[in-house]
Amino acid sequence: MIVLSLLLLVSGAVPEPQALTPSDETNHLAFVKKLSGDQVSLLSGVYPDFRIVKLCSGRFSGAGREEWVLGVWSERKVHRAALIWNRDKWEVHVIDDEIGKDANVSHSFPMKWQYSLDKSKGFSGNIKCGVDPEFKGDSDLTRALGDKPFFDLRKEGCEKNSIVCFATDDVYNNWDCLVYIPKDGRFRLWFQQAHAD
């Protein structure tokens, strides 16, 4: 059994276990201080022994309070999650599960967030939160090459909802931008950019 495990590891069939660096642990402690006890407890229920490697705030559901999109390290990989306020309580949203429901629509399937866990530099992954101003002026995100959103935020009643974008390639200027749709109770893929620049 040990020989088989080693063969699988050498062949690349089993990914090498990832570990966080001391700087990632320090960042986690700073990030977790920004959350309430209720939020930490909810995250623990979904991701036992989690570490936050990325955190950004916005009003993702259009609620009148700050909400969070997080990169959560658990079970030796990074998950995209959100803490969304729903009327009178916090909810954890597993973003990858939610946008997986968009696989049957006509646009490209939502891509995976491109990140790395470097043994010396720690976690690295590009994320943009509340990015509407990013589409103006000099930015990584652009509609200049003809990329168009998949749906109108105003028609969905989400024009005040913060958008979050995840880099989907570490070489090209590729992004998946998501928006939380309260009537659907989930995140949906709103804009996709794939540029080889």
pLDDT tens, residue by residue, 106-152: 556 668 899 998 888 899 998 888 765 555 555 667 666 667 888 89
Specify the DSSP element, H or E, that contains 30.
Answer: helix 22-32
How many residues does this entry show for the chain? 197
Instruction: From 153, 141, 135, 144, select the one nearest 193 (Cα to Cα).
Output: 141
**pTM of this prediction?**
0.83
Domain membership of residue 46 (yes or no) is: yes
The answer to whether 81 and 94 have CB atoms below 8 angstroms apart is: yes
Residue range(s) defining the domain that contains residue 111: 16-195
For the chain, how many structural domains are there in total?
A: 1
Domain membership of residue 3 (yes or no) is: no
Domain membership of residue 104 (yes or no) is: yes
Interstrand relation of 173-181 and 186-195 (parallel, antiparallel or unpaired): antiparallel
The residue assigned the tokens 């990169």 is 71
Domain membership of residue 1 (yes or no) is: no
pLDDT tens, residue by residue, 21-69: 999 999 999 999 999 999 999 999 999 999 999 999 999 998 889 999 9
Q: Which residues contact 29 (CB under 8 A, 6 or more apart)?
A: none
The residue assigned the tokens 């991701």 is 47
Domain membership of residue 173 (yes or no) is: yes
